[in-house]
Structure 1
């Protein structure tokens, strides 16, 4: 649970640490891989504790009159992060709350529904302060952060007191770690200032190899490919250490994703499958497969039979759901416009006024834990029911809408086919909204040019699109908010949360004469200051087809969107928003690089379908 304080000290058991370490942990007989992993964690924890102490001393030595002390502090931070990567997979899987003291995002995070917040802290916060224009002015805060990390790192062995695990759990932790590296590590998600993501990924890969040694020592048909791709992945990372020019597409397609596939095959062959922690589909080939995420893990999960989806499609286009019998869901979410409407904000039901926000496309919308721009609906069914009754949108009275459907022999039959257990019962709003939700859940074709490329067609993307992918996933930092593989705010590696961000979006797209936007965003639903002007991060799949952009439709083109991001968002352009979560630092992208990123986003356009 997040707490309202500026730092978070965990496991303050200094006097007992040595005793707990000596006592060790409980372990089932035969789980040799788990025993090896525990020993590696002990070694890694010791290395991290030593590195954190060195970092603390370097920060203590910061001197405004000696710029070399700042460089030394940055170097010590890099070393400390590399040591942390030796134990991150273990901490994040087995002791997630404890891991957050060391490497959580450098922004205030909200614990819902308790409406408490956790202030920025840890290695990422140290990086933000250390890369400020005047880092020495933050020396006191830096020292406080370093002291917390150093003291708690010394105490890490105490986590093993009465701890037990299994080889199956170890294997699942490695599966999740690979996803973390592909979606976060190589993108620089938690070290954007340091640009150390490639070196850190290499360190994590070496840890994975050490963890797997009990299974890799004796060559076998199932482990030889794992050894091969693991070695090649590490070599590629080590031979190409540059962050901005790292070829992520080549790394993923040639080495990393085959490694993920082969590790899964080995786990299955050894009968060490375990699925407890995430929305990942372990039966999928890799992270970029069409079935990489399990739709059943998300709200509104159901057995979406063909009859249910067919009914949902009929209802999506049904004007009887509106108060005036003139509107359907498709009025503002038009299939030919990739389920958007091309307007800044949609027309209200009176055809004169406009609703408050832009109508986003609906592809992949089921893969979220919150709906609407402000996330006020916890699932699609609730969103659908809300839209139907909203006075500005469809203005339908639920009882009247249901009565109309009940009076239709065609709909009575369709509902009976979709819900066989209903018998002669009356149609309900839950059935209606569930059917439309099932239809929307099917809007996930993943048949874009990029998907074809990952499926093996190396001609599917142009040179500009390939370069754009590498920029999107690296230098441009797009993938640190639009996470692979859906490129929305669904946060890896567990894919259990939906992010909300404040980008400082203005009310207009004249970046030289910005006007502040007065939409409070999620704050209206969760009245915590840190949610002011925060909105859900949408997918950029099909974004080339769904202009205009942002919650208010302020940006008419992707060029304007990229110009805005390149300048550091609203604050980078001169707006003063105390709650902007996007870094105000300029990205330094050239005109050609921006065009290549846009070309890649065009490669995320799904082929037209009969939806």
Structure 2
């Protein structure tokens, strides 16, 4: 007995010792990348600072009569951009506001709801000036930008004062940098004229590999696979450098997406997975996985509604389906949501602008599809409402749309025993479940399910390499590259949801005309978001919609001005309204032509056709409530 007790004590002691050693190793392991990464950042800031002095020198000697000076200035800008990519992962993650000085879009971006904004600055402003008709004429402005960058870069290392980063954060920062490469870098999002996106992607992946070095050297399981994936991705980027000819589909499916999956698995196996910044579901294999963007991240759900269980959620969706066809929601008991968002027409109505409540006039704007409507932070073309539930209440009460009175609607529904039961089952915690807020939430729950992700494109990304034809594949490469479509219609939903954090929906000023005759364009009088937020930068600004299922939802644009996709692509090809000689002082779309051939326009259209979902898998049959 004593011997057994002694053995048990020894085993327990050994177990505790091992546990302490393991805990100690784990604690040390969780710090192995911090100092290493700080060293990489300091090295990167030194190279970046030097490149800025070279940029300043290059723009200071710009001469309109000497094209070599313009070429040299553009080359110096390229060098600075490449240098910045080696610290971008760190700046964007830990010092986002400081990083905006260097590489923010060349347009005014408003910080809502505070309505604060900053004038554009940095590389993208410099790029726009260097690719203007007379770069030398902008020498003063270019020098001001260069001096701003130099003075800011001189203080970069001071950001490290009292810096306390964690290995989980470092790994998330490189994870997000990879997402940025996949969704923004290869599209030319922040260097559309230089077209250095592929070379910049190389720098980003190379620095990711360097940051991961200490983690890889201490790992056992997946380090070999991850190291090999990093090396093969870099080798591909090093060889294939031409922006317009770059095969993005090959790069994504063979290199970048497998790399994203391996990196995710590696981080998870190390026990260092954390999500402090993005709404992305890190359990998803890659950014094009159907579960990469969780619908729950966009839902406006109160704390009281959380944890009620799957049954209540399913009942809520079922109730929402029924309400979608319910004419009691309208003031004349003739209209329902289906009136403008018909499932048979891919949840649109096929009209330029929808028929108004009086059935004689038309509303101001086109009715977009409701497919994927739940995956954004702004509803309506002008983004005046943030949530689906808010939009639903607005539409129901709008005199031009459904003209319904909320109190009357609720009273009418309460007379129906079936609805009373359905609301009670859907909102079991509520004392009086049948109210307007819950009605809107039920409808929103149904609309949030309208994201089938089963198009030919989705099947191709899931591994079915027969799902897309050559024309569609060419179109994808153009869409994400030369056509610059993917720099506003962001992957994976191809809407205005901005990567890599996916926490903001973008608005753009395109200069969309009121008609489709490019030889005799008529300016559109719709003020867009300016009507909701009356600041000049929002004049004519509209939300960027998804192009998924766009082949089934003609006509196009906020006013239904264009009847076919070829016309839409050609509008962008010509540089939007400003490129077509309309006066659009605040246009955020580049007015420079894309120089797409007719064949390339057709290929882009073919790609958009590959984004058409099979709605047979979407529950559009609306159940009766008795």
Q: TM-score, normalised by structure 1?
A: 0.94
Partner secondary structure for residue 434 of structure 2? coil
Which sits farther off after the overlay, 321-330 or 221-230?
A: 221-230
**2:205–2:230: 8 Å Cα contact kept in structure 1?**
yes
**1:323–1:395: 8 Å Cα contact kept in structure 2?**
yes
Q: Cα distance, 1:362 vs. partner?
A: 0.5
Q: Cα distance, 1:292 vs. partner?
A: 0.8
Alignment of 1:374 with 2:382, yes or no, is yes
Write the mapping of 1:194-593 to structure 2, written as runs, cut at 5 A.
194-217=194-217, 220-301=220-301, 305-423=313-431, 425=432, 427-593=434-600
**2:427–2:433: 8 Å Cα contact kept in structure 1?**
no
**1:406–1:426: 8 Å Cα contact kept in structure 2?**
no
Which sits farther off after the overlay, 213-222 or 176-185?
A: 213-222
Moved over 6 A (4+): none
Q: Distance in 1 between matches of 2:48 and 2:430?
A: 59
Q: Aligned residue for 2:57?
A: 57
Q: Aligned residue for 2:15?
A: none
User: Looking at CA atoms only, which structure, 1 or 2, has the larger radius of gyration?
Assistant: 2
Q: Cα distance, 1:220 vs. partner?
A: 2.5
What is the CA deviation profile of residues 419-453 of structure 1, one whole-angstrom value per residue up to 9, with x for unaligned ones?
A: 11125x25111100000000000011110000000
Q: Distance in 2 between matches of 1:66 and 1:332?
A: 58
Q: Distance in 2 between matches of 1:362 and 1:277?
A: 28
Give the root-mean-square deviation of aligned CA atoms.
1.1
**2:423–2:433: 8 Å Cα contact kept in structure 1?**
no
**1:299–1:378: 8 Å Cα contact kept in structure 2?**
no
Q: Cα distance, 1:29 vs. partner?
A: 5.5
Q: Distance in 2 between matches of 1:131 and 1:65?
A: 15
What is the CA deviation profile of residues 343-363 of structure 1, one whole-angstrom value per residue up to 9, with x for unaligned ones?
A: 000001111100110000011
**2:495–2:547: 8 Å Cα contact kept in structure 1?**
yes
Q: Aligned residue for 2:141?
A: 141
What is the CA deviation profile of residues 260-298 of structure 1, one whole-angstrom value per residue up to 9, with x for unaligned ones?
A: 001111111100010111111101010000011122221
Partner secondary structure for residue 615 of structure 2? coil
Q: Cα distance, 1:211 vs. partner?
A: 0.1
Distance 1:219 1:381, change over 3 A: closer
What is the CA deviation profile of residues 464-491 of structure 1, one whole-angstrom value per residue up to 9, with x for unaligned ones?
A: 0000000000000000000000000000
Q: Cα distance, 1:218 vs. partner?
A: 5.2
Q: Cα distance, 1:567 vs. partner?
A: 0.3
Write the mapping of 1:167-182 to structure 2, written as runs, cut at 5 A.
167-182=167-182
Which sits farther off after the overlay, 299-308 or 204-213?
A: 299-308
**2:168–2:274: 8 Å Cα contact kept in structure 1?**
yes
**1:523–1:529: 8 Å Cα contact kept in structure 2?**
yes
What is the CA deviation profile of residues 523-556 of structure 1, one whole-angstrom value per residue up to 9, with x for unaligned ones?
A: 0100000100100000000000000000000000
What is the CA deviation profile of residues 306-358 of structure 1, one whole-angstrom value per residue up to 9, with x for unaligned ones?
A: 10100001001101000010000011000011100000000011111001100
Q: Distance in 2 between matches of 1:35 and 1:576?
A: 53
Q: Cα distance, 1:377 vs. partner?
A: 0.5
Q: Aligned residue for 2:12?
A: none
5+ residue gaps, structure 1: 1-27
Q: Cα distance, 1:118 vs. partner?
A: 1.4
Q: Cα distance, 1:219 vs. partner?
A: 6.2
Q: TM-score, normalised by structure 2?
A: 0.92
Q: Aligned residue for 2:189?
A: 189
**2:328–2:412: 8 Å Cα contact kept in structure 1?**
yes
Q: Aligned residue for 1:599?
A: 606
Q: Aligned residue for 1:17?
A: none
Q: Aligned residue for 1:12?
A: none
Q: Distance in 1 between matches of 2:483 and 2:129?
A: 21
**1:46–1:154: 8 Å Cα contact kept in structure 2?**
no
Q: Aligned residue for 1:10?
A: none
Q: Distance in 1 between matches of 2:220 and 2:239?
A: 28
**2:424–2:433: 8 Å Cα contact kept in structure 1?**
no
What is the CA deviation profile of residues 376-409 of structure 1, one whole-angstrom value per residue up to 9, with x for unaligned ones?
A: 0011111000000000100000000001111100
Q: Aligned residue for 2:158?
A: 158
Partner secondary structure for residue 150 of structure 2? helix
Q: Aligned residue for 2:14?
A: none
**2:512–2:557: 8 Å Cα contact kept in structure 1?**
yes
Write the mapping of 1:38-57 to structure 2, written as runs, cut at 5 A.
38-57=38-57
Q: Aligned residue for 1:127?
A: 127
Q: Distance in 1 between matches of 2:391 and 2:323?
A: 15
Paired residues, number: 583
